[in-house]
Amino acid sequence: MSRRRLLPELSVTFGSPTGRASPFTFLAGSSSRLRTGCKRHRFSTIGCLRKAEVVSTTRLPERIVPKYLQSTRPGSSLLSLHWPRPPRNLLLVQKLHDPDVTESVIKFAKHIRSDYPDVNLVVEPRIAVLIREKLPFSIYVSDDRTNIADKIDVIATFGGDGTVLRAASLFKLHGSVPPILSFSMGTLGFLGEWKFADHKKAWREMYMSGSHLAVAQRAAVPRSDGRDDHYMKEMDDDDASLNGWDRVRGKSQGFHRATKILLRHRIKADIYDRAGEKINHRVSDELASAHKTSIAGTKEQSPSLRAINEISVHRGSHPHLAIIDIYQNGHFLTETTADGILLSTPTGSTAYSLSAGGPIVHPLVRSLLITPISPCSLSFRSLVLPLDTKVILRMSPKNRGRELDLSIDGKRCAGVSPGMEIRVEGEFVGRAGPGEEWHGGVPCAIRTEDDDPWVGGLNGLLKFNHPFGREPPSDDFVD
């Protein structure tokens, strides 16, 4: 191992179940920035790290929030990702019970540690159990002492659509989701963007995206004294950021080669009891208790529940159909008798809603879908409404006291009884004012702006308009 690759180390002791101190090693470049010897001696980096397993996320640096700029390409609705400084905290989310996926995550983690030593790898406890024995370095594990919304810069997912939903659901109580880099390793992969074979290129593009933003700004903005031969003075941490990018082998992607982002809209739900009291805090407390090491917290007293796919109310295991009154912008729309009702996003239009007979909607169409699940009527068709429409689902007294299941993106969150209401509307996505940053939504990294993944998904995965007994149409013309 060359001297250039050796990094200073820090040995910190934590209490172990046996009562003895257990050494953990941190690489220089982490938030602590402390530089001491390991047990007052110098060891090789690998030698010390083999003793380390998992470390609490409390020691991670604070989250870096990227900028999202409107694409300059004519007709494009995508955004460009620009980091103000190199991302440091990477959350890995993987599909469970798949050895091949686990091996890929281990390979990816080793690549990050080797070529991007300043990046901290974060996993959930259940993932740490799978990979910690196969990694010769420390990893961070989320726990109830730290709010991951304040720590995670970027997310990488390994699996199918369910894995992407899992990553987004970790922030169902929070209004801001880190950018998601998804590797398609599941059954369908409609939301997956990258093949794992391209993981080095994919991560490099994400990490280096907009790395020369500060340089471009300095070149474009003259000093206030009017001297054109000087650039605008930047803060010291901006210069340090450029040095952090410069340490990566190879050249920067440059200002005009930033990662393209598809900002997927979400919908949010507020739950009210029979007395009209908002009880979101009860549901969020139950969610935080059940998933205390994963769900991102928020400073809101009673945060809304957010969904990237759909919010559903279902009869569950009860033999009788659910009866739900639906209101649109305060006006009574209809009473439905069905297995349940779906309120979906455009992203969710190709999920449960599609199976229930709903339409296919492009993810950039600002809309909200109402789709019945096996209704007791042939005339109840799916509705497409503006995203800012306020929809109320009121549990009818005709349900005779039984409780229905409320689920967010396929996961049961609470039971709702007669008289209770679920108020749903689209989450605000965009700029609050001139010069403001983008808010809301789930930012998903796209491979390239030239290849529309939505069209590819329709043709390649859903076999859109594929005639029975024939091959799909080819781009090649036959004379």
* Residue matched to tokens 């939505």: 454
Dihedral sign computed on CA atoms, order 249, 250, 253, 255: positive
pTM of the model: 0.80
> Is the domain defined by 50-213+252-265+428-465 classed in CATH 3.40.50.10330?
yes
Euclidean distance between CA atoms 384 and 349, whole angstroms: 10
Confidence (pLDDT) at 175 = 87
Fold of 266-426: Tumour Suppressor Smad4 (2.60.200)
The structural domains of the chain, with segments of one domain joined by +, span 50-213+252-265+428-465, 266-426
Confidence (pLDDT) at 476 = 53
What confidence tens digit (pLDDT) does each residue in 129-182 have? 889 889 999 899 987 778 888 999 999 999 999 999 999 999 998 888 999 999
Confidence (pLDDT) at 1 = 44
Confidence (pLDDT) at 477 = 46
What confidence tens digit (pLDDT) does each residue in 201-254 have? 999 999 998 776 444 444 344 444 444 333 334 434 444 445 568 767 554 555
What confidence tens digit (pLDDT) does each residue in 57-84 have? 888 999 999 999 887 776 677 888 999 8
Q: Which portions of the chain are predicted below pLDDT 70?
A: 1-53, 74-75, 212-244, 247, 249-257, 288-294, 297-299, 432-435, 449-452, 470-479
Confidence (pLDDT) at 53 = 58
Inter-residue contact 330 to 179 (CB < 8 Å)? no
Confidence (pLDDT) at 250 = 54
Confidence (pLDDT) at 242 = 53
Name the token pair of 380: 């109840």
